[in-house]
Amino acid sequence: MTKNILIISSDNTGHGHKSITESLCEKIGDDHDLKIHVVDGFSMGGQILSGMGKSYGPITRRAEGLWKMVWNLSSVKPSLVNDLIESLIKTNFLKLIDKIKPDLILSVHPNFNGSVLNILEKQQLKIPFMILIADLVNIYPLWADKRADFIISPTKEAKEKCIDYGIPPEKIKVLGFPVRSRFYRKSQNPKKMFSYKKGTPLKCLIMSGGEGVGNMQNIAENLLDNFNCTIKIVAGRNAKLKAKLENSLKSKYGNKVEIYGFTKNIQDLMLDSDIAFTRGSPNVMFEAIASNTPLIITGALPGQEEDNPSFAAKSNLGVVCKNISDLKDTMNELLENDGERLNYIIKSQREFINIHAAEDILEFMLEVGKNSYEVAATISS
């Protein structure tokens, strides 16, 4: 009998939720007894909720202060968010449940945890419900709902935060952060230790998540003016930023700079780079770690990303440089002694990453679903 899993994700609030979902779906392979159905949670709430989802990009690009206020307000009273979204998605969600008849529901977006659990509870629908946290350290209270059967956490730090929110430890499983397989270097072709001599050309990648936020121009100019390097910049969905960077950098630095918009081949850019410069986006950070590319983290979105830079530095996955005027010194420290610090980061990344996170998560989900199915069959008999 085919088992159906419903994953509630998001297409517009950054790209991390979608990437996590894809990393799980690609592990299904030819298993014809398992079918995953993915829905953009915001699409279930009509124009109002869809509009909220689509506003994430403009707000995080242009008004970080406003985003921090929204994050803080929704953290103070999560029940209000749950009740609002419940009222918006209830009709379409129940139609979806009737159509798919899922054996298990997985949510990878905080806005659809309490809201969906409210509906399941009120409709007396006994469907196993699991949460997969997509943040690393600072997590919304919306991630931590005691009614979920299990919460899958990417880090010990996120688990501790869940416990602070009142989740029993036995309900939390730390399985790592799932990354799409194409970001991992082939085992027979691992990243070589970095051999740097003064003047060695560097290949640098500057990115800032799917929404293209951050001071990319200043970073690029600082690098190009002080080091022998080529730079590839990914502006994401931010078309205005892409055009601005092309106008300001290409005329000055020529073919030393390449500017990209949103690209589906970001793994190729990472795998070909010596150093990646990025903000503290969990998804981007872990994709860089998976590709074994040392990180220089230049900032973080207020709220859920605030402690991600220090998390990376603590685990020796990269270094933090929030002030661009310090970038030259930061680079020199990484490159001194034949790139000793860079090689230490490369080694630490290899030891840190769980390359089987997606498989482990999927296996755990199936085990929970199987146990719930057997319990339900026993009760009905």
For residue range 231-269, what is the model confidence (pLDDT) as tens digits? 999 987 778 888 888 888 988 999 999 999 888 889 999
Cβ–Cβ under 8 Å, residues 144 and 165: yes
Mean confidence (pLDDT) of the chain:
86
Count how many domains the chain has: 2
Same domain, 20 and 93: yes
3-state secondary structure of 373: helix
**Same domain flag for 195 and 340:** yes
Residues 345 and 368 both lie in one domain: no
Of 364, 371, 369, 377, nearest to 153 by C-alpha is 364
Query: Are residues 175 and 186 located together in one domain of the fold?
Result: no
Q: How far is CA 94 from CA 88, 182, 347, in A?
A: 12, 35, 48
Amino acid symbol at 284? V
SS3 state at 229: strand
* CA separation for the pair 155, 143 (Å, rounded): 14
Dump pLDDT digits (tens) for 361-378. Answer: 999 998 887 766 554 443
* Tens digits of residue pLDDT in 27-59: 886 566 788 999 999 899 888 787 777 766 665
User: Do residues 269 and 367 share a domain?
Assistant: no
Range of the domain at 275: 182-352
Q: Residue 314 maps to which CATH number? A: 3.40.50.2000
Q: Domain check: are 36 and 59 in the same one?
A: yes
The span from the CA of 131 to the CA of 214, in Å, is 30
For the stretch 185-230, pLDDT in tens is 775 455 556 666 677 889 999 987 544 455 888 999 999 999 999 9
- The confidence score (pLDDT) of residue 313 equals 95
Same domain flag for 134 and 243: no
**Are residues 262 and 374 both part of a single domain?**
no
Do both 29 and 118 map to the same domain?
yes
210 Cβ contact partners less than 8 Å away, ≥ 6 residues apart: 14, 15, 16, 57, 236, 237, 262
Split at pLDDT 50, 70, 90, the class of 1 is low
Q: Are 117 and 225 members of one domain?
A: no
The answer to whether residues 142 and 43 touch, using CB atoms and an 8 Å cutoff, is no
- Helices and strands (DSSP H and E) totals, the chain: 15, 12
pTM of structure: 0.87
Output the CA angle 65-205-184, nearest 5 degrees: 105
Determine the distance from the C-alpha atom of residue 179 to the mean position of all C-alpha atoms in its chain, rounded to a whole number: 9
